[in-house]
């Protein structure tokens, strides 16, 4: 058995993968996210930067940051999202993350992971980060603006946010092609109205998400959509980059 075959057998022991992560020997984990890594707008070099990866799951962006030269990436997750249908026993907490870290040869000190809520972040406990990644998490939070405030308190420079957006889809207005583009609004889902997932609480328009990031203290804000004409719900996503330029 080759090293690649042995590694693949270990990958296949996990019942579910969210991220598609390239491991040694040509092995790639069988996840589906991110749909398009280039769409996130992450610079090719993160040399020397301290990065916070919120909602890290299997660790795609943690390990990608290290590949791009980050000095350290701190990964946090509270494992509260089960995609509306994933069995609790199928999400193995940090086991897939640890497996990928070991397979890629990164020391724990380069990518420590913490089982915690974003609401518990503080500069006193966790220090200051140059860059924050906040992907696929905002719409799962009961208090999204509080989360952005917490992230701002530990960020000295820039934040990248990715979320479901309302621009082209609203379950209350008829679904796909019936969104709220160009409105600074956010919808609330008390049950499973969005994506049949009880952990989806709020979805903003792209314009609203940009203003939320600005309100959290990032004075230079840009935003863009994953697709200008999404053909399915999974493509109704938006991105915001916020940067602090004022002292």
- pLDDT per position as a tens digit, 24-70: 999 999 999 999 999 999 999 999 999 999 999 999 999 999 999 99
At 196-243, the pLDDT tens digits run 999 999 999 999 999 999 999 999 999 999 999 999 999 999 999 999
Query: Can you give the residue range of the structural domain that contains 10?
Result: 3-243
Helix (H) or strand (E) holding 240: strand 237-243
Take residue 85 and report the two structure tokens written for it.
Answer: 């249908």
At 134-191, the pLDDT tens digits run 999 999 999 999 999 999 999 999 999 999 999 999 999 999 999 999 999 999 999 9
Give 114's strand partners: 76
**Residue 90's pLDDT band (cuts 50, 70, 90):** confident
Residue 247: is its pLDDT beyond 70? no
Q: What is the mean pLDDT of the chain?
A: 95
Query: Which of 117, 120, 187, 128 is closest to 153 using CA atoms?
Result: 128
**Residue 129's pLDDT band (cuts 50, 70, 90):** very high
Count how many domains the chain has. Answer: 1
Q: What is the CATH classification number for the domain harbouring 42? A: 3.40.50.150
């Amino acid at each position: 058995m080759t090293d690649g075959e042995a590694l693949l057998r270990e990958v296949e022991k996990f019942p579910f993968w969210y991220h598609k992560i390239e491991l040694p020997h040509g092995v790639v984990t069988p996840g589906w996210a991110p749909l398009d890594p280039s769409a996130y707008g992450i610079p090719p070099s993160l040399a020397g930067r301290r990065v916070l990866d919120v909602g890290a799951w299997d660790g795609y962006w943690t390990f990608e940051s290290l590949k791009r030269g980050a000095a350290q990436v701190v990964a946090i997750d509270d494992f509260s999202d089960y995609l509306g249908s994933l069995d609790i026993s199928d999400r193995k907490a940090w086991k897939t993350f640890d497996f990928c870290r070991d397979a890629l040869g990164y020391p724990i000190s380069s990518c420590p992971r913490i089982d915690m809520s974003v609401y518990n972040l503080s500069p006193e406990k966790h220090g200051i980060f140059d860059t924050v990644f906040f992907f696929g998490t905002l719409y799962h939070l009961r208090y999204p603006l509080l989360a952005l405030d917490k992230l701002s308190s530990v960020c000295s420079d820039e934040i990248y946010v990715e979320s479901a957006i309302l621009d082209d889809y609203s379950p209350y207005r008829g679904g796909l092609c019936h969104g709220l583009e160009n409105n600074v609004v956010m919808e609330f889902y008390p049950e499973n109205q969005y994506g049949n997932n009880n952990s989806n609480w709020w979805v903003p328009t792209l314009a609203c998400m940009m203003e939320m990031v600005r309100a959290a203290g990032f004075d230079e804000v840009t935003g863009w959509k994953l697709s200008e004409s999404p053909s399915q719900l999974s493509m109704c996503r938006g991105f915001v980059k916020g940067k602090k330029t004022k002292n």
